[in-house]
Amino acid sequence: MKKKSLALILCCSLFFSFLGACGANIGSGMGDHATEPATEEEKLTVVGFSQVGAESDWRSANTESMKSVFTAYNGYELIFDDAQQKQTNQIMAIRNFIQQEVDYIVLAPVTETGWDTVLQEAHDAGIPVIIVDRMVDVSDSRLFECWVGSNFELEARKMCEWLRWFCVKHNILAEDVYIADIQGTIGASAQIGRTEGLQKAAREYGWNIVATVEGEFTRAKGYEATQQLLLKYPKMNVVYCENDNEAFGAIEAIRDAGKQVGSDIKNGEIMVLSFDGVKPEALQDVLDDSISCIAECNPLHGPRVEAIIRKLQNGETPQKYEYVDEDVFSAYEEIENVIVDSKEYPITLVTPELIERRRAEYDTGSYVEELPDNVY
């Protein structure tokens, strides 16, 4: 009996000691980590996104498109970094993403060059990199999985074809066309493509390019550049702005100088051409003849990038380069389409109904979130 009682006492003592140890572990957090199931956050796909900045309405819409898609509800954790127009900030962000062991890196590069080293680091870490909007010029294309964005030179060529036909239909001689190019951020893919497209067309059609100045894709720079151009080049009758924000600044500068914005360049008006067409205000300017033509640059890359990630997760190989279909907007009914490389592109006529539809979409955010049917 004494032996059985002693054994029972020992067992009870060990049992309560075990409970005490468990309680200590639970209190310290060790027990939680060891026994609790993984949280929902731990199951999310982590995406690090390095954005150029917020220099334009296009960029803001592009950012919102990403944020609206890569949410916890959709199974993602988005780590967002605003580079404030500096490549050094983007390189630092990518290295931080690597240290955080994100699942995917999405890069909207400031410029095309200077990425080999940091993208090699991401490649060595086994993290797929997806490039959006502007391209990268790297020695090894395997350093990124794929790129998705716009064909910027094609945008420019469609715009220039519209200008050519406008001149033909209004009996404007090529030698009477004096164009100032307000460029975007120098070295950015959009700047390179839109500048090259204009220069090729000017050589082919005999237009005069009186100046090329940097506008940095901002309204303030567009205003400043146009203000100076008006003083230096009195014959200037076309301002070719490489995005809407520059165009808004150019329009303001022209009016402040006491000149008329419009398409009647034969009678002293100054034509403004633009790219993007994101905000309904830009389309309203087209309807009001403040902007004669806009070549669309679609910012809705969030759903496109997610589609690429799904393919990678399923073991599929996405296309290396995925271009987005885009419109050309004008209020002139006489130009219904343009042809580039034997392909016909329709011109979308701007109407009050189109503007109201875009305004409703922009106000509700559906323009940012919804993906058009024809992007793939």
- The structure tokens 């050589």 sit at 203
Domain ranges in the chain?
A: 41-150+300-323, 152-297+336-367
Q: What is the pLDDT of residues 123-174, one digit of tens each?
A: 999 999 999 999 999 999 999 999 999 999 999 999 999 999 999 999 999 9
Please determine, for residue 41, whether its predicted confidence score (pLDDT) is greater than 60: no
Q: Which bin fits 33, alpha (ψ -120 to 50), beta or left (φ > 0)?
A: alpha
Nearest to 314 by CA among 36, 45, 18, 71: 45
Give the C-alpha separation, 39 to 286, whole Å: 51
What pLDDT does residue 12 have? 42
What pLDDT does residue 363 have? 63
* Count of H-run helices and E-run strands, the chain: 14, 15
What pLDDT does residue 362 have? 66
Q: What is the pLDDT of residues 322-372, one digit of tens each?
A: 998 899 999 999 999 999 999 999 999 999 999 998 887 666 555 544 443
Q: How many CB atoms lie within 10 A of CB 274?
A: 31
What pLDDT does residue 278 have? 85
Beta-carbon contacts of 124 under 8 Å, excluding residues fewer than 6 positions away, are none
Q: What is the pLDDT of residues 82-131, one digit of tens each?
A: 999 999 999 999 999 999 999 999 999 999 999 999 999 999 999 999 99
What pLDDT does residue 279 have? 85
| Burial profile 319-358: b = 16 or more Cβ within 10 angstroms, e = fewer | eeebebebebbbbbeebeebeeeeeebebbebeeebbeeb
Q: Which two tokens stand for residue 214?
A: 């940097």
Q: How many CB atoms lie within 10 A of CB 223?
A: 22
Beta-carbon contacts of 255 under 8 Å, excluding residues fewer than 6 positions away, are 261
What pLDDT does residue 285 have? 97
Give the C-alpha separation, 215 to 237, whole Å: 18
Q: What is the pLDDT of residues 49-66, one digit of tens each?
A: 999 999 888 999 899 999
Q: Do 152-297+336-367 and 41-150+300-323 have the same topology in CATH?
A: yes
Helical spans, DSSP H, in the chain: 2-28, 30-35, 40-43, 57-69, 87-99, 116-124, 152-169, 189-205, 219-232, 244-256, 280-287, 302-313, 352-364, 366-369
| Count, residues in the chain | 376
Q: What are the strands of the beta sheet with 178-183, ordered from one edge? A: 208-214, 178-183, 238-241, 271-276, 293-296, 328-330, 348-349
Q: How far is CA 22 from CA 27, 38, 39, 94, 138, in A?
A: 9, 20, 22, 42, 55
- The structure tokens 């404007």 sit at 172
What pLDDT does residue 157 have? 98
What pLDDT does residue 366 have? 53
- The structure tokens 């060990």 sit at 14
Q: What is the pLDDT of residues 207-253, one digit of tens each?
A: 999 999 999 999 999 999 999 999 999 999 999 999 999 999 999 99
Q: How far is CA 271 from CA 135, 226, 260, 366, in A?
A: 30, 12, 9, 32
Please determine, for residue 8, whether its predicted confidence score (pLDDT) is greater than 80: no
Domain spanning 152-297+336-367: which CATH class is it, in words?
alpha beta
Q: How many CB atoms lie within 10 A of CB 74?
A: 12
Nearest to 56 by CA among 81, 85, 86: 85
Q: Which two tokens stand for residue 42?
A: 């731990």
Please determine, for residue 23, whether its predicted confidence score (pLDDT) is greater than 60: no
Give the C-alpha separation, 49 to 46, whole Å: 10
What pLDDT does residue 367 have? 55
Nearest to 118 by CA among 135, 145, 138, 146: 138
- Architecture of domain 41-150+300-323 in this structure: 3-Layer(aba) Sandwich (3.40)
Q: What is the pLDDT of residues 269-308, one digit of tens each?
A: 999 999 999 889 999 999 999 999 999 998 889 999 999 9
